[in-house]
């Protein structure tokens, strides 16, 4: 039996704004993370976090502490016996729901706690979380989803049908991921606040490191965007994928 | 010149859950308020607050503190020279906007600060806020509204036309409010967690006190709702207004 004894909250800050790391057309903040550890009486700790692109991380830390009593003292078996009830204990805490519900600071804190519980379960079961979810029986997976706000668009029965359909070829796909990994991209080459030569050096290094998909930020000055895109394309060649993200800025 | 020197934040708590004060079909919390005082170098302080139906008020207090630097050191004239810029400095603080933006804890804190600034202006101008707004020239009023998220439904020009149309009869309406007050209702008679005899006594007292409109909470057990409605109607007679609020609970 894995019982959660305490929730430790770490307020982690990175001074990213100074050099423009993480900057885009809307944001230039000091990255920070509310890092949550579930301490248990067993061999594992559960880890989860929520990320904010800016200061004010003390708010999400305080929100995790305000919600922590919903997991402290509970066992994993209790929480997963009714996963919906567990997640709703966080999203509909009668003393905290006016601070959200299900939005902003309190939503982010809920995510950190829910993810930490899932992380703890995956560790207990001895497999990565992606495999735990991919191998989970359909009925169990559907029982984890709160359909309260979406059942006009998707019912549990429809979700079940979609997931059951996805069972075809699942084993081959799992073997493929285990063998080849999962395709991914890097955003680190093209933050909006980076000077051109930094973009060039980072794109070159990322390509040499094996990356074949890169994302750049756009949405500031159009001529700057074009020039930076040319720099990256020149470094990664015609076949690699170049993606652009304007972060909701209107032209 | 009225300059804001400091923002004082008070964490005010009321143990309302115990007796069911404020309870409805969804909520039974300990009311709390984040009470904000703008201290100035002049004779006035600006007061604003945000209210939460529950514990966790430390989150909105912390959010006000995180935003306070946008008003500290500023003069009222500066803030109202471009009210949209002022409100956006709070809703789009580049270091805090990922905590919202414009929702939940950070939104509530923004409201407390914006309201405190308006309160300070009304005090400086020597009139109640409702009169300040009612007498404000249309262009100035429209300039205070952020149309960013609503201009597909309402443009500044359309808002101007609506407000200008409302100028007809304004002076008579203002005189009427000054003479008769503004019609209002009380919710205090019918919180869902109150026993019948408390509802009866409160309805009777409110009617004797001059109230002619009462709101009760419904949405729990239908027979309870009917019985409680009968009690209130018996006390307030056939002519007073009885309103019902199910607080989003589905039947």
Contact B52 A98 (CB under 8 A): yes
Contact A59 B95 (CB under 8 A): no
> Model confidence at B231, in pLDDT bands (50, 70, 90)?
very high
Residue numbers in chain A where pLDDT is lower than 50: none
Maximum Cα interatomic distance, chain A, rounded to a whole number of Å: 60
User: ipTM of this predicted complex?
Assistant: 0.86
Best to test chain A binding among B18, B65, B99 (most A CBs inside 10 Å): B99
Q: Is the pLDDT of residue B62 over 70?
A: yes
- CB contacts of A94 in chain B (<8 Å) are 26-29, 54
pTM for the model: 0.89
CA distance A155 to A136: 19
Residue A51 has phi, psi (to 5 degrees) of: -115, 135
- CB contacts of A59 in chain B (<8 Å) are 59, 62-63, 66, 99, 105-106
> Model confidence at B251, in pLDDT bands (50, 70, 90)?
low
Q: What is the pLDDT of residues B108-122, one digit of tens each?
A: 999 999 999 999 999
Contact B99 A59 (CB under 8 A): yes
The proportion of chain A whose per-residue pLDDT surpasses 70, expressed as a percent, equals 100
Q: What is the pLDDT of residues A33-44, one digit of tens each?
A: 999 999 999 999
Q: What is the pLDDT of residues B128-165, one digit of tens each?
A: 999 999 999 999 999 999 999 999 999 999 999 999 99
Tell me which residues of chain A have a C-beta less than 8 Å from any C-beta of chain B: 17, 26-30, 52-56, 58-60, 62-63, 66, 93-100, 103-108
Which of A26, A27, A59 minimises the CB distance to B105?
A: A59
CA distance A128 to B250: 39
What pLDDT sits at residue B20? 85
Angstroms from B124 CA to nearest CA on chain A: 32
């Amino acid at each position: 039996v894995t019982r959660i004894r305490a929730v430790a909250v770490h307020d982690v800050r990175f001074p990213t704004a100074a050099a423009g790391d993480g900057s885009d057309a809307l944001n230039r903040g000091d990255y920070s993370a509310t890092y949550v550890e579930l301490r248990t009486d067993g061999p594992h700790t559960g880890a989860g976090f929520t990320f904010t692109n800016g200061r004010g991380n003390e708010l999400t830390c305080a929100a995790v502490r305000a919600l922590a009593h919903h997991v402290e003292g509970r066992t994993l078996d209790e929480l997963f016996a009714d996963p919906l009830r567990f997640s709703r204990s966080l999203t509909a805490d009668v003393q905290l729901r006016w601070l959200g519900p299900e939005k902003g600071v309190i939503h982010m804190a809920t995510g950190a706690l829910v993810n930490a519980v899932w992380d703890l379960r995956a560790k207990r079961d001895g497999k990565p979380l992606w495999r735990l979810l991919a191998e989970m029986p359909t009925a169990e997976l559907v029982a984890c989803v709160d359909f309260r706000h979406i059942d006009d668009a998707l019912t549990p029965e429809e979700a079940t049908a979609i997931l059951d359909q996805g069972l075809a070829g699942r084993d081959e796909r799992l073997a493929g991921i285990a063998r080849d990994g999962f395709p991914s991209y890097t955003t680190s080459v093209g933050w909006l606040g980076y000077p051109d030569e930094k973009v060039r050096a980072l794109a070159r290094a990322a390509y040499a490191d094996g990356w074949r998909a890169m994302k750049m930020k756009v949405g500031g000055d159009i001529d700057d965007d074009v020039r930076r895109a040319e720099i990256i394309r020149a470094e990664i060649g015609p076949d690699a994928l170049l993606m652009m993200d304007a972060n909701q800025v209107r032209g």
